[in-house]
Amino acid sequence: MTRTLTLLGIESSCDDTAAAVVRARAGEAAEILSSEIRGQTALHEAFGGVVPEIAARAHAERLDAVVERALKVAGLGLGDLDGIAVTAGPGLIGGVLSGVMLARGLAAARGLPLMPVNHLAGHALTPRLTDGVGFPYLMLLVSGGHCQFLLVEGVDRFRRLGGTIDDAPGEAFDKTAKLLALPQPGGPAVEVEALLGNSKRFQLPRPLLDRAGCDMSFSGLKTALLRARDTIIAEKGGITVQDRRDLCASFQAAVAEVLATKTARALVLAGDGVQALAVAGGVAANKAIRAGLEAVAEKAGVPFLAPPLRLCTDNAAMIAWTGIERLRAGIAPSADFVARPRWPLDDQAPALLGSGKKGAKA
Chain contacts with Zn ion (rule: CB under 5 A) = 314
Q: Which residue is nearest to ligand KG4 (CB)?
A: 187
Strands (E), 25-125: 31-39, 83-89, 114-118
**At closest approach, how far in Å is the CB of 3 from ligand KG4?**
33
* Nearest residue (CB) to ligand KG4, 107 versus 285: 285
* Residue (84 or 312) nearer to Zn ion, CB: 312
* Residue 255 Cβ vs Zn ion, minimum distance, rounded to whole Å: 19
CA distance 159 to 172: 25
Report which residue's Cβ sits closest to Zn ion. 314
Cβ distance to ligand KG4 smaller for residue 103 or 177: 177
* Peptide bond preceding 136 in cis form (omega within 30 of 0): yes
Task: Give the Cα separation of 279 and 140 in Å (integer).
Answer: 5
**Could you tell me the smallest distance in angstroms from the CB atom of residue 119 to Zn ion?**
6
Strand 147-154 with 157-163, pairing:
antiparallel
Strand extents, DSSP E, 66-179: 83-89, 114-118, 137-142, 147-154, 157-163
Q: What are phi and psi of 93, to 5 degrees?
A: -65, -35
Name which of Zn ion, ligand KG4, none residue 285 binds, using a CB cut-off of 5 to 8 Å depending on partner kind.
Answer: ligand KG4
Nearest distance in Å: CB 309, Zn ion = 13
Are the CB atoms for 18 and 316 separated by under 8 Å? yes
Least gap, CB of 254 to ligand KG4 (angstroms): 13
Of all helices (H) and strands (E), which one includes residue 22?
strand 16-24
Taking the complex as a whole, the smallest distance from the CB of residue 188 to Zn ion amounts, in Å, to 17
Q: Under a CB-based contact definition with an 8 Å cutoff, are residues 186 and 357 in contact?
A: no
279 binds, among Zn ion, ligand KG4, none (CB under 5 to 8 A by kind): none
95 binds, among ligand KG4, Zn ion, none (CB under 5 to 8 A by kind): none
Q: Cite the beta strand spans of 238-313 per DSSP E.
A: 277-280, 304-305
* Residue 282 interacting partner from Zn ion, ligand KG4, none (CB closer than 5 to 8 Å by kind): ligand KG4
Q: Which is nearer to ligand KG4, 187 or 341 (CB)?
A: 187
Cβ atoms of residues 336 and 107 within 8 Å: no
Nearer to ligand KG4, 188 or 205 (CB): 188
Closer residue to ligand KG4 in complex, CB, 281/292: 281
Interface contacts to ligand KG4, rule CB under 6 A? 14, 143-145, 170, 173-174, 185-188, 191, 281-283, 285-286, 313-314, 358
